[in-house]
Structure 1
């Protein structure tokens, strides 16, 4: 099998994630994160919609990482982004990390808006 090295000429990849954090371009962001071709920053949750809207001229859609499992995106958040022309694709955060890396390696205009994966509840 031939292996091909993935390059990210115009983007910063998501290196890894863990309980409560994302590692992006070698830097750790604790809690939620917004990742796009030009950088990454912390994300305070659905009330931080302006941070996503600021990217509207640079992206076509966002991958919405909803944590350990796929969950519905808050309706007002989705409607605000879609009214600005930004599509929203929800998925579990682990899947969003992988999908984001594939799409940016292809040069797609995408951002990932991620809720962290939290530790599983202990009984």
Structure 2
């Protein structure tokens, strides 16, 4: 088997997670996290549509991880993101983190807004 080293070209991959936290770029972050162009961005969770609107135009794909399981997106958040023209892919947070890392390794313009598994 041939193993190819993945390069993230200066961006921060999601390296791990646990109950209530994420590990991104060697840092442990408790609570929701927005990772994308330029690294980590402040994000207040599902009530904070402004942070997702702010990255519009800098990403082609925005993953929204809803925690341990997929769940409905709050209407205000969904509508705010839709007005920017961004695509919003909603899934469970572990799946969103994996998809983000794959597209990031391909050099794509991608971001992930992730609610921790286990709440917050």
Q: Check whether TM > 0.5.
A: yes
Q: Which runs of 5+ in 1 are unaligned?
A: none
How far has the Cα of 1:11 moved from its partner? 1.5
Residues 93-104 of structure 1 mapped to structure 2, 5 A cutoff: 93-104=93-104
Residue 47 of structure 1: aligned partner: 47
Conservation of the 8 A alpha-carbon contact between 2:34 and 2:43: yes
Rounded to whole Å, the distance in 2 between the matches of 1:37 and 1:17 is 20
Q: Residues 7-86 of structure 1: matches in 2 within 5 Å?
A: 7-86=7-86
Provide structure 2 residue ranges, at least 5 long, that are not aligned to the other structure: none
Residues 85-111 of structure 1: CA deviation (Å, up to 9, x unaligned): 111101110111111000011111111
SS of equivalent to 1:79 = helix
List structure 1 segments (4+ residues) > 4 angstroms apart after TM superposition: none
Provide the alpha-carbon RMSD of the alignment: 1.3
Matched, 1:2 2:2: yes
TM-score normalised by length of structure 1:
0.90
Pair member with larger Rg: 1
1:105 aligned to 2:105?
yes
Contact 1:32 1:114 in 2 (8 A): yes
